[in-house]
């Protein structure tokens, strides 16, 4: 297992992992493509890291992107992490944040937001372990498969 910055050639593998969580751990319901991830991988202010297994297959990714293009939000980012389903719960995801959080800090981020489905207790506990605190619940904000979905907002402040 190794962790490195994402390269443009990783975009499809990243999309393939993300697309396994449509309507499960993300409000995105339509598959994303490699093209959707190219700007994140290439932007200097969007640090993106991937975890590869011993066969150099991407098994997880995490990135921070600007929270908003409004100038007053210059310090704020939104963080995302997805591990391939077969790797979940193996205490691997934290290694991605061990690399990503210092990089985000070095780039000037001082506030990170994570938006998480309220039923995703594992992700909530995971983020608490990395210093995120619960801001609150957005009740019934989502509609997926005919069901209303609650999400929680978590934040980490430096």
Ligand X SMILES: CC(C)(COP(=O)(O)OP(=O)(O)OC[C@H]1O[C@@H](n2cnc3c(N)ncnc32)[C@H](O)[C@@H]1OP(=O)(O)O)[C@@H](O)C(=O)NCCC(=O)NCCS
CB of 22 to ligand X, least distance (A): 11
Please say whether the beta carbons of 149 and 142 come within 8 A. Answer: yes
Question: Please, are residues 48 and 40 in contact by the beta-carbon 8 Å criterion?
Answer: yes
Establish if 64 lies at the interface with ligand X (CB under 6 A): no
Q: Are 33 and 69 in contact (CB under 8 A)?
A: no
Selection from 103, 156, 94, 153 nearest residue 131 by Cα: 156
Per CB under 6 A, 48 contacts ligand X? no
- The count of residues in the chain is 158
Sole binder of ligand X in the list 15, 16, 21, 23 (CB under 6 A): 21
Lay out the site mask for ligand X across 83-112 (x = CB under 6 A, - = otherwise). Answer: x----xxxxxxx------------------
Q: Judged by CB under 6 A, which stretch of 7-15, 30-38, 76-84, 137-145 contacts ligand X?
A: 76-84
Shortest separation between residue 35's beta carbon and ligand X, angstroms: 22
């Amino acid at each position: 297992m190794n962790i490195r910055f994402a390269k443009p050639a990783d975009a499809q593998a990243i999309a393939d992992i993300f697309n396994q969580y449509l309507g499960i751990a993300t409000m995105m319901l339509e598959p994303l493509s490699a093209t959707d991830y190219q700007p994140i991988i290439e932007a200097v202010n969007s640090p993106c890291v991937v975890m590869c297994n011993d066969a150099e297959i991407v098994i997880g990714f995490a990135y921070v992107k600007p929270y908003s293009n409004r100038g007053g939000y210059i310090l704020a980012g939104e963080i995302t992490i997805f591990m391939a389903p077969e790797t979940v719960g193996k205490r691997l995801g934290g290694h991605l944040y061990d690399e990503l959080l210092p990089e985000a800090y070095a780039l000037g981020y001082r506030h990170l937001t994570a938006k998480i489905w309220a039923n995703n207790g594992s992700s909530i506990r995971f983020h608490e372990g990395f210093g995120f605190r619960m801001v609150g619940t957005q009740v019934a904000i989502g509609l997926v498969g005919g069901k209303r979905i609650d999400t929680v907002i978590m934040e980490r402040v430096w």
